[in-house]
Structure 1
Amino acid sequence: MAAWLLTAILAGGAALRGADAAAAAGARATACAAADAPAGPRLQVTVTGTRKVAGNITITLYGPRPEDFLARGGRIARQRILLHGAAAEACFALSEAGAYAIAVYHDENNDHVFNRTMVGMPAEGYGFSNDAPALVGVPSFEAVRFAVPVGGSQMTIHLRY
């Protein structure tokens, strides 16, 4: 796996700072338990396949614009879930039904960085919505995009190491 894949995953995770472009475009999301959670659909996300119980699972949610996927400032929400077992669950309260995408990584040492080896390979697990493969590079937005209907949705993502 190329180092540029890791850079893209980082952009989707801990490296993002500043205003979220998708939020400015109208899509909004928070944790379901947040006091300011929108009244729209709920998205339940389960991440499985951790190789050890340590650190957190960082889940980054993107809206319907392909150009925002894995782009700096493109996320609409992010949650870091402390790992207490082999899987982690998060709930996103969405402002509206529509197309979304997810990138996740297992931050085993809880340093809020997607760590890599000396040769640029992932040192921590990662995954995408629809379990889209990342064999040669980052999956396309089309491969990770999924629809959340008015009634809400669930997504399970299996980590790769």
Structure 2
Amino acid sequence: MKSLPTLAAAFILGFAGAAAQAGAASAADLTLAFKGLQKQTGAILFVLVNSEAAYDDKAPAVAQDMLAVSGSAVTTRFADLAPGRYAIKAFHDLDGDGKMATNPFGMPTEPFAFSNNAEGMMGPPKWEAAAFEVKAGANVHAIDID
């Protein structure tokens, strides 16, 4: 006969395993494609965020990465994301200095883009324009950078 602590441990471990399986079933995968790259040099630098605060740089990003460019498109994949709303801010770092180049007036001189191919007026687009839904299972989101 098993002791009460052993039964309790088995129950807890079984429950944790079931919860992990349920979590895995509801997890989301996101394949992100940057396309329309005019120059096949440098890298795409981007952040993936899941809140308006993070989009406005007031909270941490879910992920940030740098993807080497060697063709007209580059892709990356994120596994086990929580389903929800996400947004992406990116730029094509042509000169490889890790910073977005700007002219003397502060206007970007390197290609940049946002999720949903959202465009801003006198600055980046608002969260509402850039946010997109990531559902459980496989998701693909493409962004044109030109």
State TM-score, norm by structure 2.
0.76
Distance in 2 separating the partners of 1:46 and 1:110: 20
Q: What is the aligned-residue RMSD (CA, Å)?
A: 1.8
Q: Which residue of structure 2 aligns with residue 52 of structure 1? A: 39
Q: Tell me the CA shift for residue 74 of structure 1.
A: 2.9
Q: Would you say 1:43 and 2:27 are equivalent positions?
A: no
Equivalenced residue count is: 122
Distance in 2 separating the partners of 1:44 and 1:96: 14
Contact 2:120 2:126 in 1 (8 A): no
Q: Would you say 1:116 and 2:106 are equivalent positions?
A: no
Q: Which has the higher helix share?
A: 2
1:55–1:70 distance in 2 versus 1, CA, 3 Å: farther
Distance in 1 separating the partners of 2:68 and 2:94: 10
Q: Which residue of structure 2 aligns with residue 131 of structure 1? A: 117
Q: Would you say 1:155 and 2:130 are equivalent positions?
A: no
Which runs of 5 or more residues in structure 1 are unaligned? 1-37
Amino acid at match of 1:115: A
Deviations 1:89-120 (A, max 9, x none): 11112431111111110011111111112232
Q: Tell me the CA shift for residue 59 of structure 1.
A: 2.1
Contact 1:79 1:90 in 2 (8 A): no
Contact 2:36 2:72 in 1 (8 A): yes
Q: Tell me the CA shift for residue 72 of structure 1.
A: 5.1
Percent identical among aligned pairs is 29
Contact 1:60 1:104 in 2 (8 A): yes
Which runs of 5 or more residues in structure 2 are unaligned? 1-22
| Higher-Rg member (1/2) | 2
Distance in 2 separating the partners of 1:94 and 1:107: 28
Deviations 1:1-41 (A, max 9, x none): xxxxxxxxxxxxxxxxxxxxxxxxxxxxxxxxxxxxx9531
State TM-score, norm by structure 1.
0.69
Q: Which residue of structure 1 aligns with residue 87 of structure 2? A: 101
Q: Which residue of structure 2 aligns with residue 78 of structure 1? A: 64
Distance in 1 separating the partners of 2:116 and 2:70: 24
Distance in 2 separating the partners of 1:87 and 1:77: 20
Distance in 2 separating the partners of 1:58 and 1:47: 11
Q: Tell me the CA shift for residue 85 of structure 1.
A: 0.4
SS of the counterpart of 1:147?
strand
